[in-house]
Amino acid sequence: MLCGWQIWEWPNVMIEAEFHAIWQSPEGDWVDITPKQDEEQTILFAHTPKRP
């Protein structure tokens, strides 16, 4: 598990950062396994390794 921030942008309205976790596969790929309401295929994730 990698912890960090999921960042959303609503153009000309706001930017929001939400604490989030993703899975790192044995091959090193980062995978977000959380289902998304609007079925987004890609998110902006900022890994924060020092945050427990």
Tens-place pLDDT, residues 17-41: 999 999 999 999 999 998 888 877 7
pLDDT exceeds cutoff 90 at 52 = no
Question: For residue 23, is it within any domain?
Answer: yes
**pLDDT band of 49, cuts 50, 70, 90:** confident
Sheet holding 44-47, edge to edge: 30-31, 14-24, 2-10, 44-47
In this prediction, residue 39 carries a pLDDT of 77
DSSP line for 1-52: -EEEEEEEEETTTEEEEEEEEEEE-TTS-EE--S--TT--S--EEEE-TT--
Question: For residue 28, is it within any domain?
Answer: yes
In this prediction, residue 36 carries a pLDDT of 83
> Taking the model in full, what pTM does it have?
0.75
Question: For residue 41, is it within any domain?
Answer: no
Give the domain range for residue 19.
2-34
